[in-house]
Amino acid sequence: MENLMIHDIREEYFELDLAGCRLTFDDGLFSQYYYYPLLRRLSAGEMVYFIISSCIHHGKYRGMFTGEHIPYQKSKKYMYKALLEDDFSAFMRVEELQELAGMKDVHLGVHSHFHDVIPTRNHPLKKKRPSRWKLERIGCDENDLQSEYSIRSKLAFQGYAYRRGAFVPRPRQEWLDYIKYDTEAALQWFATFLGQTPDTYCFPLNEHNRILIDILKTFGFRHFYSRRLIPFCEEIICRTDIDSRI
């Protein structure tokens, strides 16, 4: 079965033939909840929602699809609003996620608590121009991001702190402590608001390594999703971006 990776929902998705596909949704966006009745018709299988738990807040209940389509947002836009402007309107509200969690064909997983980033040395993946939210999140100007550095997942990479225009290595123990801190926060959130102990995890920015996976396993995670496969991580379930079908 092909696993498809989906962020915000575009109208074009409803014209695709997705029979036989597992739909997986990143971040916990309102559109993923709003369009649930239409998404359910696209695939008869289980749908997996990966939640950035720090982005889900209480608020006015907005309801599911009413016949009107809502504007599509790219991830760089809604992440900037959430992490730099404290605007979480693109994400589900607690009450909406609780309703979704009650659907028999829905499975919820963790997509980290903070979904944060850190500068690090380049690795084999092709370097792309960093999104504005990532640059401002670490307090760095694009001109200061030297060619040997890129901005990656704060969970997957030990990385460097950016202080006073300089890159300072993050101590290894600080990195490991952060993985545990983020994971504990996510699990506590799930227990408090959903009464669940998830065993499925999707890596922020689709980035991972052996150390991160081994630590996550100690918290009870057994199923791991990413867009990329690497030789030493046989546990990973690989996904395809749904936009490749458009």
Q: Model confidence over 22-71: pLDDT tens digits?
A: 999 999 999 999 999 999 988 878 999 999 999 999 999 999 998 999 99
Dump pLDDT digits (tens) for 116-170: 999 998 665 556 778 999 999 999 887 777 677 889 999 999 999 988 888 899 9
Residue 179 amino acid letter:
I
Q: How far is CA 5 from the centre of its chain?
A: 10
Q: Characterize the bridge pairing of strands 240-241 and 236-238.
A: unpaired
Q: What is the pTM of this model?
A: 0.94
Alpha carbons 109 and 51: distance in angstroms, whole number:
6
Contacts within 8 Å (CB) and 24+ apart, 241-244? 241/4, 241/5, 242/4, 242/5, 242/6, 242/13, 242/16
Q: What is the pLDDT of residues 178-235, one digit of tens each?
A: 999 999 999 999 999 999 999 999 999 999 999 999 999 999 999 999 986 555 567 8
Burial class for 26, CB neighbours closer than 10 Å (0-12, 13-18, 19+): buried
Q: What is the DSSP string of 173-233?
A: HHHHHHHHHHHHHHHHHHHHHH-----EEE-GGG---HHHHHHHHHTT--EEEES---TT-
Distances (CA, A) of 222 to 114, 197, 213, 218: 21, 12, 9, 10
Residue 37 CB-density burial (10 A; 0-12 exposed, 13-18 middle, 19+ buried):
exposed
Domains of the chain listed by start with CATH number: 2-115+173-245 (3.20.20.370), 117-169 (no CATH)
Q: For residues 108 and 48, what is the distance between their CA atoms, to the nearest angstrom?
A: 6
